[in-house]
Copies of this chain bind each other. A is one copy, B any other.
Amino acid sequence: MSTREKARTGARPHHAGPEELVQTAAMARRFYLEGKSKIEIAAEFGISRFKVARMLETALRDGLIRLDIRLPPELDAERSDALRTRYGLRHAIVFTSQVQDPGGAALVTHRLGAVAAGLLAEIVTEDDVLGLIWGPEIEALSPELTALARCTVVQLCGVTPLRPVDANAVEAVRRAAAVSRGVAYPIYAPLLLPDGATARMLRRHPGIVEAVSRFSEVTKAVITVGAWGPGLSTIYDALGDAERENYRSLGTCAEVSGHLLDAEGRIVAPELTERIIAISFEELRRVPDVILLADGAQRAAATAAALKTGLFNGIVTDTGVAEYLLA
């Protein structure tokens, strides 16, 4: 009889008959949903296990059987995976953003905060020392942080209390520590100081040294990336017009933890590094997990530059930036 089976499968586009369709459907359910083995299925239908395998195979290939992966709609599995693979990251989460909405930047940041908070709740363990940079993204993250293992939280840089909302700048670190019931090490100092001497002095100041001396113990750091433009970088906003232009002319493309980077991820202005209170790249490089928060198409190029530093093994970003990074 098997020799005659061919008669019905000979046609090239393979007009599957109703029998084969329902049989394939039944076999698919047996195999994928009920977990039966192909040998069992073969016995049930009186065919060889090879035929079962081939039927499922072709059914999957021809789209008769389709399996879709249901994620919360805000997560973009495909780009997350692509990003992770492309940049060799350990954590890569892309959330969906409406690129068209220009006024929605704050909204995007808000969603970034929610997603990042979820990530922290997930990956931070009791043994971790969590380091948080300061910035608008962290401020968006903070209120979304509802669960966190009991860990130590260290602030990784000073603040720039320029805007009213920044009054509670260190609130993020305090809240994270509160949620985790762990110890907090905030930094009550500006991010950028007039000169290196002042910065060096402050770094040794009691209370600040408390935090700074723990930079080396951080096991998971959350870092944001700024672009060189108004409202896109805490450093940019803290500088005067002359310096802004100066650094722009030097090719500044991104700002990471107070460090200015060109498009290749190289530090542009070492002298500025002296004037900041923030975790250094050397220290960051020793942190096992460094996660980059990057939202908004305006920071796309900056994000690409930041990734080129090789400091990061994790990223949380939106569809728009992900598209740019994958292009």
Contacts of A18 in B (CB 8 A): 72, 75, 93, 95, 115, 118-119, 122
Cβ A69 vs Cβ B29 within 8 A: yes
- Kindly state the separation between the CA atoms of A271 and B75 in the bound complex, as whole angstroms: 73
A71 CB within 8 Å of chain B: yes
Interface residues in A4-40 by Cβ distance below 8 A to B read 4-5, 7-8, 15, 17-22, 25-26, 28-29, 32-33
Interface centre among A7, A71, A92, A125 (most CB of B within 10 A): A7
Interface readout for A145-162 with B: 1 if CB under 8 Å, 0 if not?
A: 001010000000000000
Given known contacts A4-B127, A7-B126, A81-B29, is B93 in contact with A22 (CB within 8 Å)? yes
Closest residue of chain B to A30, judged by CB? B81
A179 CB within 8 Å of chain B: no
Contacts of A70 in B (CB 8 A): 63-66
A91 CB within 8 Å of chain B: yes
Interface residues in A109-149 by Cβ distance below 8 A to B read 115, 118-119, 121-123, 125-127, 147, 149
Given known contacts A17-B123, A81-B22, A125-B7, is B64 in contact with A67 (CB within 8 Å)? no
- Kindly state the separation between the CA atoms of A29 and B77 in the bound complex, as whole angstroms: 10
A175 CB within 8 Å of chain B: no
A97 CB within 8 Å of chain B: no
Cβ B68 vs Cβ A68 within 8 A: yes
Closest residue of chain B to A17, judged by CB? B122
